[in-house]
Amino acid sequence: MTIDLDLVFRLVIASLASARVTNLLIQDTILDTPRAWLYAWLLRRDHTKIVEGLQCPWCLGFWVAVLWTVSVLVWPIGATAFGLPWSVSMFAWWLGGTWLDQGEED
């Protein structure tokens, strides 16, 4: 059995990019206004379960990961090129958060 390292690399990029996009959609403040508008619009139509799904990192993250994985399988070079900045951003966020947490005291 051989391991396709190119596919492994692309899926690692897709994983990190999926995490970053999920974080953007759920909690980044830059999307506060459109997110609030969408939630209000859905709630006015009594779609509470959809709002719950959009607020849940595990739920939304699953669907973002599915879309990213499919895009890697269908369009490997483009999906990887598009996902690389998102994955680097996620890694930088994680690394920065790790360094910042070291200075905090309980």
Instruction: Examine residue 61 and state whether it is found in any structural domain, yes or no.
Output: yes
- Whether 2 shows a pLDDT value over 70: the answer reads yes
pLDDT in tens, 77-101: 999 999 999 999 999 888 887 655 5
Residue among 104, 94, 22 nearest 63 (CA): 22
Instruction: Examine residue 65 and state whether it is found in any structural domain, yes or no.
Output: yes
Q: Is the pTM of this model over 0.85?
A: no
Instruction: Examine residue 31 and state whether it is found in any structural domain, yes or no.
Output: yes
Instruction: Examine residue 100 and state whether it is found in any structural domain, yes or no.
Output: no
Domain carrying residue 62: 27-88
Residue 53, by phi and psi: left (phi above 0), alpha (psi -120 to 50) or beta?
Answer: alpha
Q: How many domains does the chain have?
A: 1
Q: Do residues 10 and 76 touch, judged by C-beta distance below 8 A?
A: yes
pLDDT number for residue 102 = 57
pLDDT in tens, 42-53: 999 999 999 999
Instruction: Examine residue 76 and state whether it is found in any structural domain, yes or no.
Output: yes
